[in-house]
Structure 1
Amino acid sequence: MDKMLRASQRFFDLSEEEKREYAGGKVLDPIRYGTSFNLMVDKALFWRDYLKCHVHPHFNVPSKPHGFSETVDEYITKSREVVGELLKGISLSLGLEENYIHKRLNVELGSQFLILNFYPPCPKPELVMGLPAHTDHGLLTLLMENELGGLQIQHKGRWIPVHALPNSFLINTGDHLEILTNGKYKSVLHRAVVNTKATRISVATAHGAPLDTSVGPAPELVGDENPAAYRAIKYRDYIHFQQSNELDRRSCLDHIRI
Structure 2
Amino acid sequence: MAVVNETVRFDQMKDVKEFDYFKIGVKGLADSGITTIPSFFVQPPEILSDLKSFSSTCTEIPIIDLSDVNSDLHRPKIVEQIREAARTCGFFQVINHGVPVSVLDETIAAIKAFHEQPPEVKAEKYTREEGQSVMYASNYDMYRAKVAASWYDSLQVWMGPEAPKEEDIPAMCRKEVVQWDIHAKKVADTVFELLSEGLGLERGKFKELGFSDSRLFMGHCYPFCPQPDLTIGIRSHSDYALMAVLLQNQVPGLQIKHGDGWVDVKPLRGGLIINIGDSLQIISNDEYKSVEHRVLANSSKEPRISTVEFFHADNRNGSACFGPLPELLSPEKPAIYRNFTMKEFLEIFYTKGVHSKSLVKELKL
3-state secondary structure, aligned to 1:73: helix
Q: Which has the higher helix share?
A: 2
CA shift digits 1:112-151 (9 cap, x unpaired): 0001110011111111011101111121101111101110
155, 165, 170: which one pairs with 1:51?
A: 155
Q: 1:210 is matched with which residue?
A: 314
Q: 2:256 is matched with which residue?
A: 153
Q: How does 1:35-50 map to 2 (within 5 A)?
A: 35-42=138-145, 43-50=147-154
CA shift digits 1:143-163 (9 cap, x unpaired): 111101110000112111110
Distance in 1, Cα, partners of 2:222 & 2:346: 24
Distance in 2, Cα, partners of 1:41 & 1:96: 39
Q: 1:252 is matched with which residue?
A: 359
- Per-residue deviation at 1:236? 4.8
CA change 1:63–1:89 in 2 (3 A) is closer
Q: 1:70 is matched with which residue?
A: 175
- Per-residue deviation at 1:202? 0.5
The TM-score with structure 1 as length reference comes to: 0.93
Q: 2:193 is matched with which residue?
A: 88
158, 163, 168: which one pairs with 2:271?
A: 168
Task: Tell me if the contact between 2:233 and 2:298 (Cα under 8 Å) persists in the aligned partners.
Answer: no
Q: 1:233 is matched with which residue?
A: 340
State whether structure 2 residue 238 is matched by structure 1 residue 99. Answer: no
Task: Tell me if the contact between 2:125 and 2:136 (Cα under 8 Å) persists in the aligned partners.
Answer: yes
Query: Once superposed, which parts of structure 1, at least 4 consecutive aligned residues long, lie more than 3 Å away?
Result: none
CA change 1:7–1:45 in 2 (3 A) is same
- Per-residue deviation at 1:7? 0.6
3-state secondary structure, aligned to 2:130: coil
Distance in 1, Cα, partners of 2:105 & 2:223: 19
Residue identity matched to 1:202: S
- Per-residue deviation at 1:195? 2.5
Task: Tell me if the contact between 2:257 and 2:291 (Cα under 8 Å) persists in the aligned partners.
Answer: yes
Task: Tell me if the contact between 1:34 and 1:50 (Cα under 8 Å) persists in the aligned partners.
Answer: yes
Distance in 1, Cα, partners of 2:229 & 2:278: 29
- Per-residue deviation at 1:23? 2.2
Distance in 1, Cα, partners of 2:162 & 2:354: 28
3-state secondary structure, aligned to 1:102: helix
Distance in 2, Cα, partners of 1:10 & 1:237: 37
Q: Which runs of 5+ in 2 are unaligned?
A: 1-103
3-state secondary structure, aligned to 2:255: strand
Task: Tell me if the contact between 1:48 and 1:131 (Cα under 8 Å) persists in the aligned partners.
Answer: yes
The TM-score with structure 2 as length reference comes to: 0.67
Task: Tell me if the contact between 1:24 and 1:31 (Cα under 8 Å) persists in the aligned partners.
Answer: no
CA shift digits 1:172-219 (9 cap, x unpaired): 100111111001000121011122222100110001100134321000
Task: Tell me if the contact between 1:10 and 1:65 (Cα under 8 Å) persists in the aligned partners.
Answer: no
Q: 1:112 is matched with which residue?
A: 215
Q: Which runs of 5+ in 1 are unaligned?
A: none
Distance in 1, Cα, partners of 2:297 & 2:340: 34
Between stretches 247-256 and 81-90, larger displacement belongs to 247-256
For the pair shown, which has the larger CA radius of gyration, 1 or 2? 2
Distance in 2, Cα, partners of 1:153 & 1:233: 27
State whether structure 2 residue 294 is matched by structure 1 residue 186. Answer: no
Distance in 1, Cα, partners of 2:230 & 2:343: 34
Residue identity matched to 2:198: S
Residue identity matched to 2:329: V
Task: Tell me if the contact between 1:14 and 1:65 (Cα under 8 Å) persists in the aligned partners.
Answer: no
Distance in 2, Cα, partners of 1:33 & 1:236: 24
